[in-house]
Amino acid sequence: MLSNTCKYGIRALSYIAGRSDSGKTVDIKRISEDLNLPTPFMAKILQQLAKNKILKSSKGPNGGFVFLKKPGEISLYDVILIIDGDDFFRNCVIHNRSCESEGKLCPVHDEFTGIRDKITEMFRSTSIEDLVKNKSVSENIIF
């Protein structure tokens, strides 16, 4: 459903949201170590989020990443669109394209469309802040 890159991006944003007090940056090495992911891979993901104005990156001894937007204003839908694009929200579950583009619907089109609409609404209505509100839930996101 979501790429690993997207899942890691959501985990990293949740991690930063849980640790960035009053605009302090969170170090990339600490993020990647605590999430058990390679630093260059994590840096690529976070740079993509910075390029799209979700995060701000800064270099130097006190460098790292900090939110440009409030975590409560960043939906999972926003993150998915930035990292994975809109394929999940448009494409058929069987084919790698929209059923409508073929002129005929796949056998599970109607049922999947309803399910996808519910999932899309959940992604739109869930923010990064929502993921870190509950301490036990946010700890499960990291591991």
Which percentage of the chain shows pLDDT scores above 90? 60
**CA separation, residue 130 to residues 10, 123, 126 (Å):** 12, 11, 6
Task: Name 93's Cβ contacts closer than 8 Å, sequence gap at least 6.
Answer: 106, 108, 112, 116
Helix (H, G, I), strand (E, B) or coil at 61: coil
pTM of the predicted structure, to 2 decimals: 0.87
Q: Which three-class secondary structure state does DSSP give residue 2?
A: coil
Amino acid in position 101? S
Whole-angstrom distance, CA of residue 136 vs CA of residue 128: 15
Three-class DSSP category at 134: coil
Domain residues for the domain of 101 are 4-133
Residue 140 predicted with pLDDT over 80 = no
Assigned domain for 79 exists? yes
Residue 58 has pLDDT above 70, yes or no: yes
| 44-67 average pLDDT score | 92
Task: Count structural domains, the chain.
Answer: 1
End-to-end Cα, the chain, rounded Å: 19
Could you tell me the CATH number of the domain that includes residue 30? 1.10.10.10
Q: Do the domain assignments include residue 143? A: no
Rounded distance between C-alpha atoms, residue 116 and residue 26, angstroms: 34
